[in-house]
């Protein structure tokens, strides 16, 4: 099973977005807060999708900051802080 990530070269950030099920990309609903935080941070910047089987993916893991669900919950844009 391949995993789908979104990355931004502009901010050197990445987020796990989903996975491939029978060759069809699917966004994981549990990742939505992290994806929202990533999109907020990278608004109007170039965003690329990357599968974990890409040859250069290991280098991305070493150099990019991954935004997690915990990061999203602690951000000023979290659902609890906006309410």
- Which tens digits make up the pLDDT trace of 14-40? 999 999 888 888 999 999 999 999 999
pLDDT at res. 54: 61
pLDDT band at 43 (very low <50, low <70, confident <90, very high): very high
Distance CA 80, CA 12 (A): 27
Q: What is the chain's mean pLDDT, rounded?
A: 85
Is the separation of the CB atoms in 38 and 6 below 8 Å?
A: yes
pLDDT band at 52 (very low <50, low <70, confident <90, very high): confident
């Amino acid at each position: 099973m391949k995993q789908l990530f979104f990355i931004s070269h502009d901010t050197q950030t990445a987020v796990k977005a989903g996975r491939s099920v029978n060759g069809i990309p699917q966004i994981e609903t549990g990742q939505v807060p992290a994806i929202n935080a990533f999109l907020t941070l990278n608004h109007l910047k170039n965003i690329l999708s990357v599968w974990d089987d890409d040859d250069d993916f290991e280098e991305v893991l070493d150099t990019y900051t991954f935004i997690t669900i915990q990061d999203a919950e602690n951000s000023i844009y979290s659902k609890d802080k906006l309410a």
